[in-house]
Structure 1
Amino acid sequence: MKNSFFKKTILYTLLLSLFLVSCKKDKEKISDQSTSSSGTLPHEAKSDSVKKEVKESIPPAMQENGFYNAFILPKDKKLRDSLYSVFSKKYNERERYAILALNRLDSKNRWNADTLVVPAKIDTTLMSYSPFPMQLDVLSEVKKFVIFSYEIQAYGVYSNGALVKWGPTSMGKKSAQTTRGLTFANWKKKLAISTVKSEWKLPYNFNIHNSGGIGWHQYDLPGYPASHSCLRLLLNDAKWLYNYADTWILNPGGATTKAKGTAVMVFGDYKWGGRKPWRKLLSDPNANNISVEEMNTLLKPNVEKMLYEQTNREKVADSIKLAKMAESPVEDSETAPN
């Protein structure tokens, strides 16, 4: 009887030991998975990393509502390269493009920041994160309008009052700021040469200040105002605007302007040396939003001028079209094919 009891005791002890070892392995496995899923590199893991991740994680409800997360970038280049591998695996090419655009960066300057603001729910069109109002009734009669905000380094495009596109820009640096106010698109060229430095090639350049040589075009977006007065854009945005906007119409010989192109406005002031505006999205998803009231106050005094130039351009374009039709040889009805 004693022998039987002793055997059972040993058996229970062995089973309990196996259970404790199994639990320990499972716990270690869960801990490893938690560290891996957080995107933290192995050398950065700390004893309280699991607890910290739980504390800082964003609830699913907040993610669905479009809140923003922070992707922290280490200073060390090797560590950044390793983290970029994590970044590339987590997000596809279009998602990475959108994230960089929100941070006013292009792929060349992707690590020109210590933190990337990342939306919890990524919209690759960027329209879900527009700082500009989606509808402006004050522009309902204006067929095409492009606006650039210095404060948030972003542009918006309106067609009859509806926002159709927006994106990042890098405008004039502090010592060479872009001219503010209402202007109109002039000439365009698929590949222009900078008047500041001949080595600088400017793809899809669209001039808006002819005498000042200011226009929008593709060039580096480093995450802050860095240009020599021009309005830098991502390549895709520069192409899109190149095809969207209307040019001026010149008199024969090109000496004077017969009609102006698409209305363009640059407004606001950048807080030089201050915190980058888009970083504020981490604490307030609406931090960069420009209100309808602010836009109305800005645009109302200029709408009459926009409409006048729009109407004038349509009349000039129609008269040119009619003149060309009149100049074309009209076939004799007897010789015209049936």
Structure 2
Amino acid sequence: MWQRLELPREPRATDRERDHARHHRQGVPVSGSHRIPRPAVHPERSPGEPGTKPRATAQCGPWMIPRARQAAPALEGPRGCRTPSGRVMSPPPRSRAALAAAAMVIGLAGCAGPRPTGEATRDSLAALAHPAPVPSPVPPDTVVHQPGYRTVKIPDDKTLRTLARELGPARFLLVLKVNRRDSLHVRTGDSLMVPTDTTADLLALSPFPRQVPGARDLAKLLLVSRRVQAFAAYQSGSLARWGPTSTGRESLPTPEGLYHTNWKDKERTSTFNEEWLLKWYVNLENFVGISFHLFDLPGYPASHSCIRLLEDDAIWLYDWVDEWKLDRNDPRRILKPGTPVVVFGAFAYGKKSPWRRLAADSTATNVPLYEIERALNAYLEPPASEAASKPPARADSLSAPSSPSLR
């Protein structure tokens, strides 16, 4: 007759053993060895002694956790638990829901990727402690939309009239500005670069940057790029307007350098040819007669050193610039110069104009900021050694710059 089997009191499980049991119940292995040797049998009696059954600790899997101390029954292995006599101790019955939950835990544990190594974990913690710097947002006024262009051939006058009607007066004028022409100089056989964005305004099509940090201390500044045949007006470093130009032809190029808007007149006869009436005239060089004024824009540099403008740009510029202030007692002495004007860059005579390549390269007419800053440093800020070796020059209209080397 069988007697009641009393198992001896088992030792307390160590912290490591409890950690193993907890993690394996959750379906997550712990670091270190995945297998622990089975405990040895400690019988109080010989297995063959009659009348009693051996007292031993049941071998219940590799974790050596007393069943009475487990918060939840551990998953049984395929071999179950055995007594020292070899008898298999069947696991307690479980509901189908419990078995399904256990299968799900095992499946999730099997699908989980490998745990990161110690080095990878340290790298992850370091990344959390020192996150990568987030770039500062770009101010909206510095973001320039880069438009695209398409080529429109003008085989006859009818095509030109149709294009002007489809675009409307305002947008057709933008097309003329992009092509550095007026309407009288679009001829049969020409091709025009037309912006693909029908909503782009004048500033969106500007070849100049919206902001020039080096000009923030200047209330007004005019830039003239001979390379791309365009001017730009800046107020405290912000672009206010731009427009096409026609500077001096190859035999009479507009000299590079620093000028000021001296005086202006709504109408003036040209000193080069008395038959030419120059409207919206803004003088830059008092003796040679270099100036801004309204005149033909054929799509290339064609003037006699002056800077030609379209009518709407000539009127706007005439009202915007400041004239010089002279000493009443000595009109030759300038008390305050007018708006500074910097002419820079070099036009590639005899080669394809930059704006004629816009369909293939929408950045062909762009004037980068470094090109502008280089010109400003050359003409607005003389070298320190030169400034220290020379006394301050007298601002006199009679000593206006007559060559590109003078500033």
Q: Alpha-carbon deviation of 1:127?
A: 0.9
Relative to structure 1, the CA distance from residue 236 to residue 124 in structure 2 (aligned partners, 3 Å threshold; closer, same or farther) is farther
Alignment counterpart, residue 150 of structure 2, candidates 50, 56, 69: 69
Aligned residue number for residue 54 of structure 1:
none
Q: Alpha-carbon deviation of 1:124?
A: 6.6
Larger Rg: 2
User: SS of the residue aligned with 2:157?
Assistant: helix
- Aligned residue runs from structure 1 range 240-279, under 5 A: 240-252=316-328, 254-279=331-356
Alignment counterpart, residue 194 of structure 2, candidates 101, 109, 118: 118
Aligned residue number for residue 258 of structure 2:
182
Aligned residue number for residue 288 of structure 1:
365
Q: Alpha-carbon deviation of 1:251?
A: 1.6
Aligned residue number for residue 82 of structure 2:
none
Aligned residue number for residue 69 of structure 2:
none
- 1:234 aligned onto 2:337: no
Q: TM-score, normalised by structure 1?
A: 0.67
Map Cα deviations across residues 37-87 of structure 1 (whole Å, 9 max, x no partner): xxxxxxxxxxxxxxxxxxxxxxxxxxx97310001122xxxxx11212321
Q: Alpha-carbon deviation of 1:268?
A: 1.0
Relative to structure 1, the CA distance from residue 268 to residue 163 in structure 2 (aligned partners, 3 Å threshold; closer, same or farther) is same
2:327–2:333 Cα contact (<8 Å) kept: yes
Which has the larger share of helix?
1
Letter in structure 2 aligned against 1:213? G
Aligned residue number for residue 375 of structure 2:
298
Relative to structure 1, the CA distance from residue 122 to residue 203 in structure 2 (aligned partners, 3 Å threshold; closer, same or farther) is farther
- Aligned residue runs from structure 1 range 83-102, under 5 A: 83-102=159-178
Equivalents in 1 of 2:189, 2:331: separation in Å? 45
Equivalents in 2 of 1:215, 1:106: separation in Å? 19
Equivalents in 2 of 1:119, 1:219: separation in Å? 25
Map Cα deviations across residues 120-155 of structure 1 (whole Å, 9 max, x no partner): 113574211111111011111011000101111000
2:278–2:295 Cα contact (<8 Å) kept: yes
1:113–1:223 Cα contact (<8 Å) kept: no
Equivalents in 1 of 2:266, 2:336: separation in Å? 22
1:206–1:242 Cα contact (<8 Å) kept: yes
Relative to structure 1, the CA distance from residue 197 to residue 301 in structure 2 (aligned partners, 3 Å threshold; closer, same or farther) is closer
Q: Alpha-carbon deviation of 1:304?
A: 4.3
1:98–1:124 Cα contact (<8 Å) kept: no
- 1:198 aligned onto 2:274: yes
Letter in structure 2 aligned against 1:181? G
Equivalents in 2 of 1:155, 1:123: separation in Å? 22
Q: TM-score, normalised by structure 2?
A: 0.56
Question: Structure with the greater relative contact order (CA < 8 A, sep ≥ 6): 1 or 2?
Answer: 1
Q: Alpha-carbon deviation of 1:279?
A: 1.1
User: SS of the residue aligned with 2:343?
Assistant: strand
Aligned residue number for residue 59 of structure 1:
none
- Aligned residue runs from structure 1 range 1-338, under 5 A: 66-74=147-155, 80-111=156-187, 114-123=190-199, 125-252=201-328, 254-304=331-381
Q: Alpha-carbon deviation of 1:255?
A: 2.9
